Structure 1
Amino acid sequence: MELWIPITIAAAFMQNLRSALQKHLQGRLGTRAASFVRFGYGFPIAVVYVTCLHLFAGYAFPALNLSFALWSVIGGLAQIFATMMLVYLFSLRNFAVGTAYSKTEPVQAAIFGFILLGEKLSAGSIVAIIVGVIGVMLISMAKLPLSWRNLLVALTGRTALIGIASGAVFGISAVAYRKASLSLDGPGPVMQAAVTLACVTTFQTAFMLVWMYWKDKQEIVQVVRTWRSSSLVGLAGVLGSAGWFTAMTLQQVAYVRALGQIELVFTFMASYFLFHERVSRMELAGCLLIVCGILGLLFS
């Protein structure tokens, strides 16, 4: 098994855990503050991670460059706004459906990867990704009677548009991070990904602190008061991001994000066991299609 596969599965699990914790915090902190804790409490761990790789694993620090800085800023800003859209989405639909809409990302990541990086996919991989996205669409329509009108609503309604936009911006972010990591002339993908993660989360923390100070200083106070729950979001977020960054340095973004749809399996478990939200047969069918798409992707 190629290394990027277990790394991606672990990253998907940690991302699902982070999203579940953010949903819990969203009602107490609001969308912007709940989004901030992912970065604010995560960047010190990312910095410690890089330091440990240097001191104990013997990895040298890669030389930074202008291309790295540019793509890191693009990816960091895109991830901030995509995260805010996703957290806001949780207040419109249940946890599983909110996450499902954002999982149109693999197709959009494939498009952005082709445009920005010139990456191409095999025919089998394209079919597998489409099967997974059909599964996502089934999940998004699960609470509606099957009809062309409801299909149109599922694809063009407010919730759908926010979710698809979130997936698109996450796709841009992922491609930018791969470009940033690959632009480093580093000792290997692990250190390149770790340095990218540390630099990006530090920038995101500074950007959002300035934003919250300008918009509502009280949000910063609330983030500090909820440090116990918020620090768990930061820990889960940075562990997941370390996995994503490493996997995307090893493999094309579209493949990594397609396999990352396994997060929805974890999401349904969290939705059912943690939030006691009902899961319908169509949602389960959509989840099965996503798993089939993932298996098809791996075998292709």
Structure 2
Amino acid sequence: MTWIIFTCFAAFCQAWRNALQSKLSGELNVVGTTLARFLWASPLALIYLVTLYQVQPVELPTLTLTSSAFVIAAAVMQIVATGLMVLLFKQKNFAIGAGLAKCEAPVAALLGTLFFGTTLTYWGWLGVFAGGVAVIILSSPERIKHISLKTVIIGLACSSAFALTSLWVREASLSLHLPFPHSAAWILFSVITLQTLILVSYLLMRDRMTLGKMFALRRPVMLTSLMSFLGSLGWFSAMSLQSVPYVKTLGQIEIFFMMLISAFWLKERARRKDFFALCLVAVAAVLVMFH
């Protein structure tokens, strides 16, 4: 049940990363806020990888064309997904879009079943469905007329991009044929490094002013990168051990952590439907943990 521990840890870190990144979006543009997630995560991923080899040496991976393609696809798609999430931060009705972006589990279940050979039990499908309903309830506005079509489209595109990222990360990890956790660590380092190189190169060529702003905001940027690295470490490890839909469904306990952050850090009051959604998430978590 190691995947459960990694998933809960990832959900906790992701809740904090989203809160930090949301605040940064008020100071930086979309590319800068997206880069904040990866900038300092790459050296941390390298330290983690080297430490693993010091503790338990194993053979080095042999990168094939297939594994390289999965790494590149996952890196690019996660940049796209993060950029879409940052766009959601800037929408007036952010909540519904963010909720749709969190529908990653059912999207991953559908795409995984159709294209990646993923199989789920009946209880597993029920858990994925319950989790999807929970995030929609959590993010639904008080009145249906407040829903913006643009926000809905961005949210669905975001969840699809995150789902594809997760599926490709799992395929990349399995393609290395290394023991856990070394396989997950190699993919983590490869994906984050490639993402950092892509975004830094873009800003050096097109928008050096944003790099200057990031240096001025180095403390929140470093905190965002740290929580992003820890979250990715949890997600990549969990997805190396278990099917993506199960991991992402259990990962919706992030809602619980987000409610705590909102209550104690942002000083926001929870609504009644938030507690109902949290109960649904708990049901979904139980179903996927004991499917």
TM over 0.5: yes
3-state SS in 1 of match to 2:181: helix
Q: Which amino acid counterpart does residue 281 of structure 2 have in structure 1?
A: I
Aligned residues: 291
Q: For 2:159, which of 157, 163, 167 is the aligned residue?
A: 167
The CA deviation at 1:279 is: 2.4
Give the alignment of 1:252-291 within 5 angstroms.
252-291=243-282
Moved more, 200-209 or 267-276: 267-276
Partner residue, 2:221: 230
Q: 1-side partners of 2:53 and 2:152: how far apart?
A: 44
Q: Deviations over 1:119-177 (max 9, x none)?
A: 11111111111111111111122x324xxxx2x875x7222221221111000000000
Q: Deviations over 1:235-268 (max 9, x none)?
A: 1111111111111011111111111111111112
Q: 2-side partners of 1:47 and 1:104: how far apart?
A: 31
Q: 2-side partners of 1:202 and 1:257: how far apart?
A: 23
Partner residue, 2:132: 133
Partner residue, 2:182: 191
Partner residue, 1:37: 36
Partner residue, 1:48: 47
1:102–1:167: 8 Å Cα contact kept in structure 2? yes
1:42–1:201: 8 Å Cα contact kept in structure 2? yes
Q: 2-side partners of 1:30 and 1:276: how far apart?
A: 26
Q: 2-side partners of 1:13 and 1:95: how far apart?
A: 21
Partner residue, 2:205: 214
3-state SS in 2 of match to 1:130: helix
Q: 1-side partners of 2:8 and 2:215: how far apart?
A: 31
Q: Which amino acid counterpart does residue 118 of structure 2 have in structure 1?
A: E
The CA deviation at 1:270 is: 1.4
2:98–2:139: 8 Å Cα contact kept in structure 1? no
1:197–1:242: 8 Å Cα contact kept in structure 2? yes
Partner residue, 2:142: 144
Give the alignment of 1:285-300 within 5 angstroms.
285-300=276-291
The CA deviation at 1:30 is: 2.1
1:135–1:286: 8 Å Cα contact kept in structure 2? yes
Identity of aligned residues (%): 32
**5+ residue gaps, structure 2:** none
Moved more, 21-30 or 246-255: 21-30
The CA deviation at 1:97 is: 5.3
Partner residue, 1:75: 74
Q: Deviations over 1:190-214 (max 9, x none)?
A: 0000000101111000111122223
CA RMSD of aligned residues (A): 1.8
TM-score, length of structure 2 as denominator length = 0.94
1:96–1:267: 8 Å Cα contact kept in structure 2? no
